[in-house]
Structure 1
Amino acid sequence: MLSVQVLCIGKLKEKYLVQGCQEYAKRLQSFCKLTVTELPETRLHDSVDAVLADEGQRLLAKLPAGGYHIALCVEGQTCSSPQLSQLLQKKALAGISQFTFVIGGSYGLHEQVKKVCQMRLSVSPMTFPHQLFRLMLLEQIYRAFSIGANTKYHK
Structure 2
Amino acid sequence: MKIHIIAVGKIKENYINNGINFYLKKLRPYCEIEIREVEEEKAPQNLSEKEKEEILRKEGERILSKIKKGSFVVSLAIEGKEIDSYKFSQFIKATFQSGYREMTFVIGGSLGLWENIKKQSHLNLSFSKMTFPHQLMRLILLEQLYLAFDGKNHL
Classify the TM-score, shorter chain. Answer: over 0.9
Q: Is the contact made by 1:8 and 1:38 (CA closer than 8 Å) also made in structure 2?
A: yes
1:84-128 deviation line (CA, Å, top 9, x unaligned): 100111111111110000000000100101111100000000000
| Number of residue equivalences | 150
Structure 1 partner of 2:151: 147
SS in 1 for 2:129: coil
- The alignment status of 1:71 with 2:70, answered yes or no, reads no
Cα displacement (A) at 1:149: 7.8
- The alignment status of 1:85 with 2:84, answered yes or no, reads no
After superposition, where does 1:129-140 map in structure 2 within 5 Å?
129-140=133-144
Structure 2 partner of 1:125: 129
Q: Report the TM-score, using the length of structure 2 for normalisation.
A: 0.92
Structure 2 partner of 1:6: 5
- The alignment status of 1:99 with 2:140, answered yes or no, reads no
Instruction: State the 4+ residue runs in structure 1 displaced beyond 2 angstroms.
Output: 147-151
Unaligned runs of 5+ in 2: none
Structure 1 partner of 2:59: 55
1:64-93 deviation line (CA, Å, top 9, x unaligned): 101210000000000011101001111111
Cα displacement (A) at 1:50: 1.0
Unaligned runs of 5+ in 1: none
Cα displacement (A) at 1:147: 2.9
Question: How large is the RMSD of aligned CA atoms in angstroms?
Answer: 1.5
Q: Report the TM-score, using the length of structure 1 for normalisation.
A: 0.92
Structure 1 partner of 2:18: 19
Q: Which amino acid aligns with 1:134?
A: R
In 1: Cα distance, 2:120 partner to 2:34 partner: 20
Q: Is the contact made by 1:82 and 1:147 (CA closer than 8 Å) also made in structure 2?
A: no
In 2: Cα distance, 1:150 partner to 1:104 partner: 29
Q: Is the contact made by 1:85 and 1:148 (CA closer than 8 Å) also made in structure 2?
A: no
Fraction of identical pairs, as percent: 38
Structure 2 partner of 1:110: 114
SS in 2 for 1:113: helix
